Amino acid sequence: MSTSFKVLLLDGVDAICAEVFTKRGIQSDQPGKLEHAELLRILPEYSGLVVRSATTVTAEVLEHAPNLKVVGRAGVGVDNIDLKAATAKGVLVMNTPDGNTISTAEHTCGMILSLARNIPEAVASVKSGKWDRKSFMGTEVYGKTLGIVGLGKIGTEVARRMASFGMQIVGYDPFASEEHAERNGIKLLDLDEVLGASDFLTVHTPLTEKTKGLISLASAEKLKPGIRLVNCARGGIIEEADLPVLLEKGVIGGVALDVFSSEPLTPELIAMVQHPAVISTPHLGASTEEAQEKVAEQIADQMADALENKGYKGSVNGKSIALLANDDVQPYLELAEKLGTLCGQLMPKHSSELTIEYNGESARFSELLTDGVLKGLLGAYITDSVNLINARTYATDRGLSIKEISSNQSETYRDLIRVNLGKDGAYTQIAATIFGEKDYRVVEIDKFRIELKMGGDMLMYQNQDVPGMLASVAGALASQNVNIGALSLGRGAKGQDAVTVLQIDKKLSDQEFEKVKALNGVRELKYFSLPE
């Protein structure tokens, strides 16, 4: 056996993990639970570290591991690993994004059926010696509507399974294509339409600013009365503190939770799950023998390949590490991510194809830059879960076809990245380039030449190029105490169509936005925001 590499296995990872390392000629140690001080003491011995969710790999832990080359997460989420610190130290981080899919989907389906037939409460009643059939009258799922928020791998697998029970499936995912939805028997709707149509609703998204508290007292009026909720994704998507009131008012008829905003549960959460209409399990979505064995085996093989420089499948930050040594590509990558962030806010929902054109020097890095565009595009929806490694997977899982066109010949600008968003939206094509250090600018929107610095809060609209249009918009903003910091105007021939982008000093409220949108002559008003 080669002992050039040693791997530390923590968090009770399945025994097959050690078996795989042994077969690959790599020594592994599985000491059980370690005190923090002891972990820090022994870390210098190891080239690899395998964790599940219990161990947090902080910057401090990484500082005490001078020989560490790779950290493997036997599971999907890597939120317990400091990616920035790992990348800065050149430590590869890997995960197994597919290993838990079936287990989590099956657990979700079990939760749906348990809610419909009151199975947990009936079990508890019989075990207590009672025989009370009348108290546990259920409902069939056949013919009912199941709403799914998030149509990645898990959400899609739930749809397939519950369709076989005769449920009608509706779903919301702005990046899922119509073809993907149709292929899996899902009718795509807007989020509010899904909330209003669903007898049962299950969520399969990361926890982001947009999904936090997705179901709460604030959204109560949007919900179909008596809706039953399931969350096997991330705690906090359903506002737990609001559930007792929603249940007492009859807004929701029941809720099944496998994940919580705080785990283990706080006293407040323990009190909440005591409600008779709440079903709860202790984060069991991935807790099957098959899933744990699968992810343990996968992570061991992936890490062994990485340690032996044979492959880097499942790497979360591999490209980022490589880029640290390549100063040439960094500006293009920043441009690509900013452009993707802009496109994600402008592209029509459920697009099936995205075409990215590279002209000039940027064409040398086209594959990587496409990953950057997709990372920016999906980032607002998937947040910390999306990175340069998995962005394509997230996109293709939702049926998005990606096409690249590269040319070493420059156009008006030395380097240009152009994204074609499809024909169905108000804005179909955006192009951007680099003017100077950290100076990234949009230079083309559809057929219009424009010059827009990429950063801050923006308003964009179409209008006929006639006198007074800009004054009307500026007046509407000024009347609401909204200041304009900069503007850019693109137009065709005099008096014909134009596009205007205003950089404003704050994000508009819905009321402020509607006041501008109502102006005569303003078309396709869009708000978007880009990091400074």
Show the tokens assigned to 59.
């910057």
Active-site position among 263, 268, 290, 514: 263
Annotation says 361 is catalytic: no
d(CA 404, CA 354): 9
For residue 217, give the DSSP letter.
G
Catalytic residue check, 106: no
Question: What is the DSSP code (8-state) at residue 267?
Answer: H
Separation between Cα atoms, residue 244 and residue 250, nearest integer Å: 10
Catalytic residue among 24, 73, 234, 441: 234
3-state secondary structure (DSSP) of residue 200: strand
Determine which one of 275, 283, 364, 491 is catalytic: 283
E strands of 401-496, at which residues? 401-407, 415-420, 429-436, 439-445, 448-453, 456-464, 484-491
What is the residue-wise DSSP string for 182-198?
A: HHTTEEE--HHHHHHH-
Q: Which residues are CB-contacts of 179 (< 8 A; sequence separation ≥ 6)?
A: 352, 399
Rounded Cα distance between 471 and 510, Å, is 21
| DSSP string for residues in 493-526 | STTSEEEEEEEESSPPPHHHHHHHHTSTT-EEEE
Concatenated DSSP letters of 456-477:
EEEEEEEEE--TTHHHHHHHHH
Dihedral over alpha carbons 8, 9, 10, 11 (to 10 degrees): 170
- Give me the numbers of helices (H) and strands (E) for the chain, helices first please: 18, 22
For residues 492, 493, 495, 501, the Cα torsion angle rounded to the nearest 10 degrees is 20
DSSP-based three-state secondary structure for 207 = coil
283 catalytic residue (yes or no): yes
| Residue 41, H or E segment | helix 36-42
Residues 339 and 356: beta-carbon distance below 8 Å: no
In angstroms, the CA 156 to CA 397 distance is: 9
Token pair belonging to 475: 């007046």
Q: Which of 339, 503, 508, 514 is nearest to 427 (CA)?
A: 339
User: If you search the block for the tokens 């019989």, which residue do you land on?
Assistant: 126
For residue 275, the tally of other CB atoms under 10 A from its CB is 15
The Cα 504–Cα 506 span in angstroms is: 6
Beta carbons within 8 Å of 302's beta carbon, 6+ residues apart: 72, 94, 96, 311, 312, 313, 314
Catalytic amino acids?
A: 234, 263, 283
